[in-house]
Amino acid sequence: MTEASNSEGVIAPTDGDDDSARKEALRKAGAEYFDKVLSKASAGKDPFIDPPKSRRKPADIEAVDPDIETVGKVLEGIRLYVIGALFLTCASVSLVLVQASLQPLHTPGIQAFLHLLPTVCGLWMLVEVGPLTKETALGVAPTAGLGALKVLCLFGALLYSDVRLVLAWITWAPPALKAGQRLLQGAKLEVQQNGLLGVGGVGLLGCILGLWPTLLGVLSLLGWSAVEAAELAWEYWKVHSEPGVLYLGERATGLVRSMADEEAKVGATTMEFYRNSLPAVPLLLVGFLFGEGVELVQHELSVPAVMTMLCSVAAWATAAVTGVLLADSLSVPARSALKALACIGTLIASVVVGGLGSVGGLVAAAFVVVSGVGLQMGDLVDIVGVTRAALPRPASISSGSEPHRNRGIKAYAAVISAPFPAVEEEIVDARHLLNLIDITAPYLRLSSLKVQGSTAWAVIERESMNVLEINAPMMHAEICRHAANVAEFACAAVNPVKKRHFYLAMKTEFNAATPVGVAPGMQHGSDCWSGSTVEIEAVVKRFDRGLATVSIQIFRRGSPSMASPIRRQLFANMKVNNMVVPEDTFRAQMRHTASAGILSAALQKTQALALPSPYLNPVCLSDIAAPSTDVRTAKLHFTDVHMTAGHFPDVPALPASTVGANVVHLASLGLRDDMSGPVQLRVVRHAMKYRSLPVLGETLGFTITRVACKDGVTHFKGRVVEEASQRDIMLFELHIAPEA
């Protein structure tokens, strides 16, 4: 009894303490809950409804188990390697499995449909595809149609030919066709390319003799090559419209240009989806049209045949989907290396599955594959770290402490975010300094343009037909401007993103070489002798994250003489840093400067223009007047877009070089009170603010005032406005002197 009482006496206080602690905890929890409710209510939110899961903040989500989080981090770290291994494995066995699945069931059309169907499903999960409009269908139709023919010819070739012969053919034919295209354009192939083409051609001939194909197999391979050539022609025609205008007329070329514009709006991943989805049903219909349905009904497939077909479909779809995933993660050289390894893996897989077969054919196929891979990799060996991202993140631009680095980043951020009517001054100064023409004559153009790999060559020739300008010297600014154009062509050649871009010069360096056989007094631009030819060689040294660095050498070529015994002399070295801006981004900024009607009508008239090109009969001043002794005025009527080209290809707008050239022309008239004619001059110093972009149909008003003249240098100030709206186009200040 006593022990029980003592026990109860000991336990009772303990229960009371627990109750007090529990009550205190509940009181605190309730206070915290009501504080939370009151805070939500004061913010205007319903305190008794939890936010949807998709809108919950990270703090609202329960913490993940540390072990699961660790596993997730490990998987994320090896994700790229896993995808790369999947791509390499599936791409290596894909052709072999396709041929094995075609042997029991000769239905290339139906099986092409079955292979494309899961590929479309996989890509559907990767991309967000909107409704297929008429314009989008028109843009993707050529690529999708050619892709359908290519798949059908490939399956036909695998049905009627040995897989090694097919592999050798599709590996060697594309670089051979590209080499032929370069030869037709007047380019010269390197010794290594000639050697690889020769080895590949001999190996392909040996492969044909060793693995003798049937007639249908040869026709399928020839059809595949014809489609590949058509794809090359389509890519060339989208960029260079001159042959289309010459042979098909402006209407057909305009249609092609509109189709190319629509295709450029579609991303690479979306285009891959359309390339696989649109041809699927037509291929199925083609199969049934050629009687493949009867073949399907009459044959009973065994379990191994069905398993082989399923493995083939899975490998084909996995290779396509992982290839799209790798496109956003790997550089172009890395992807090309993976494809090269896949070709070698296909050769090994064919031996494992089908045995050695014809040893001579196998050896010949190996030679062809190696040479084809070497040709495909040849254009990429000079590019390091190229990514698919065309636009850089400003903070990710390569490190460096040069004074221009921050300025370039600010300029890049401004040109992407700000519309062109409010372009910042430092963009204009950095970019258009190169494009200013500081002489009234002569106007020059590029000719004999050749592009190979990462190098572009061109020759500068006089374009003006004015008798007074034919023998005038070439000036520094004109030569530099055209050198920058050649650099743009070189950048376009190495750009891995297959869509049109603008290459805007952000920074330039110019170092004149000491001319051989020229008097020391020839300076200020007159040291490019009249009657000579100027050659330009531009090499892309870096192309990464939306920035390109191009090294340029400028040579003077003339007839040998006693004063200048060397035919080819180095005139100057240049270095240009280009900012790479996609065409759609540039056009989006362009729309701030023109109404949709003017821009649309102007674009219809400019379908025949090609990539960046030098001047074509530049727009010139009219209505020149002298209201007073020190003031000159003029007008410029921009009514024909075919009269000018330059830094804004296929866009009905005047580049800064055109406006700047006419400003200097008006200043040269201001040096003479009677305006009897222009004066050959040189620009000592200039400052220009290019406020907005003049577009087709506008009339510009020029006003220039002579402020002072000291030591033979005349100081001018002025502005260029759009006549109707009085919108500022350019504000400028010039210090010029007559040429001695």
Query: Would 69 be classed as within a structural domain?
Result: no
Q: Report the alpha-carbon distance of residue 191 to residue 187 in Å, rounded.
A: 13
- Is 152 in the same domain as 289? yes
pLDDT of 385 reads 28
Q: Is the per-residue pLDDT at 615 higher than 50?
A: no
- Is 50 in the same domain as 168? no
Lowest mean pLDDT among 183-192, 404-413, 699-708: 404-413
Q: To the nearest whole percent, how much of the chain has pLDDT over 90? A: 2
Average pLDDT over every residue of 316-339? 79
Q: Report the alpha-carbon distance of residue 724 to residue 730 in Å, rounded.
A: 15
- Is 430 in the same domain as 517? yes
Among 328, 361, 378, residue at a domain's last position: 378
pLDDT in tens, 508-519: 676 766 543 333
Angle at 285 between CA 223 and CA 110, to 5 degrees: 75
- Looking from the CA of 89 toward its CB, the CA atoms found within 13 Å total 10
- Is 242 in the same domain as 115? yes
Q: Is the per-residue pLDDT at 429 higher than 50?
A: no
Among 378, 394, 426, residue at a domain's last position: 378
Q: In angstroms, what CA-CA distances link 686 with 634, 739, 740?
A: 20, 16, 20
- Is 471 in the same domain as 555? yes
pLDDT of 721 reads 92
Query: Would 365 be classed as within a structural domain?
Result: yes
* Between residues 421 and 125, the one the model is more confident about: 125
pLDDT, mean over the chain = 68
pLDDT in tens, 657-677: 667 767 777 877 777 666 555
**What 3-state class would DSSP assign to 730?**
strand
Lowest mean pLDDT among 358-362, 699-703, 707-711, 724-728: 358-362
Average pLDDT over every residue of 416-424? 27
Structure-token pair, residue 272:
């891959």
Query: Would 587 be classed as within a structural domain?
Result: yes
One-letter amino acid for residue 50 of the chain? D
Cβ atoms of 92 and 338 closer than 8 Å: no
- Is 171 in the same domain as 281? yes
* Between residues 567 and 9, the one the model is more confident about: 567
- Is 290 in the same domain as 327? yes
Among 20, 35, 60, residue at a domain's last position: 60
Cβ atoms of 536 and 457 closer than 8 Å: yes
Structure-token pair, residue 391:
């636009």
pLDDT in tens, 246-291: 556 566 667 777 777 777 677 677 788 888 888 888 888 888 888 8
Q: Is the per-residue pLDDT at 492 higher than 60?
A: yes
Average pLDDT over every residue of 132-139? 80
**Phi and psi at residue 702, in whole multiples of 5°?**
-105, 135
Q: Is the per-residue pLDDT at 497 higher than 60?
A: yes
- Is 495 in the same domain as 393? yes
Lowest mean pLDDT among 49-53, 149-153, 161-165, 284-288: 49-53
One-letter amino acid for residue 312 of the chain? S
Query: Would 70 be classed as within a structural domain?
Result: no
Query: Would 68 be classed as within a structural domain?
Result: no
Sheet holding 699-710, edge to edge: 622-628, 631-637, 699-710, 713-722, 727-738, 681-690
pLDDT of 641 reads 53
Q: What is the CATH number of the domain that holds 417?
A: 3.10.129.10
Picking from 156, 150, 154, the residue whose alpha carbon sits closest to that of residue 106 is: 156
- Is 173 in the same domain as 102? yes
pLDDT of 328 reads 66
- Is 615 in the same domain as 518? no
Concatenated DSSP letters of 610-677: -SS---SS----EEEEEEETTEEEEEEE---GGG--SSSTTSSB--HHHHHHHHHHHHHHHTSTT--S
Q: Report the alpha-carbon distance of residue 498 to residue 611 in Å, rounded.
A: 14
Average pLDDT over every residue of 48-73? 56
Average pLDDT over every residue of 516-543? 58
Number of domains in the chain: 4
Structure-token pair, residue 441:
């004559």
**What 3-state class would DSSP assign to 96?**
helix
Place 20 in a pLDDT band, splitting at 50, 70 and 90. Answer: confident
Query: How is residue 106 annotated by DSSP?
Result: -
- Is 355 in the same domain as 453? no
Q: To the nearest whole percent, how much of the chain has pLDDT over 70? A: 57
Average pLDDT over every residue of 133-144? 82
- Is 367 in the same domain as 403? no
Q: Is the per-residue pLDDT at 417 higher than 70?
A: no
Picking from 387, 393, 610, 614, the residue whose alpha carbon sits closest to that of residue 494 is: 387
Query: Would 41 be classed as within a structural domain?
Result: yes
pLDDT in tens, 383-413: 322 222 222 222 222 333 333 323 322 322 2
Picking from 85, 23, 683, the residue whose alpha carbon sits closest to that of residue 341 is: 85
Q: Report the alpha-carbon distance of residue 281 to residue 290 in Å, rounded.
A: 14
pLDDT in tens, 188-243: 677 677 777 888 788 788 888 877 778 888 898 999 999 999 888 887 777 665 55
Average pLDDT over every residue of 629-654? 64
Average pLDDT over every residue of 281-306? 81
* Between residues 566 and 134, the one the model is more confident about: 134
Q: Report the alpha-carbon distance of residue 73 to residue 218 in Å, rounded.
A: 51
Domain that holds residue 416: 386-592
Average pLDDT over every residue of 534-561? 78
Query: Would 150 be classed as within a structural domain?
Result: yes
Other C-beta atoms closer than 10 Å to the C-beta of 706 total: 20
Query: Would 66 be classed as within a structural domain?
Result: no
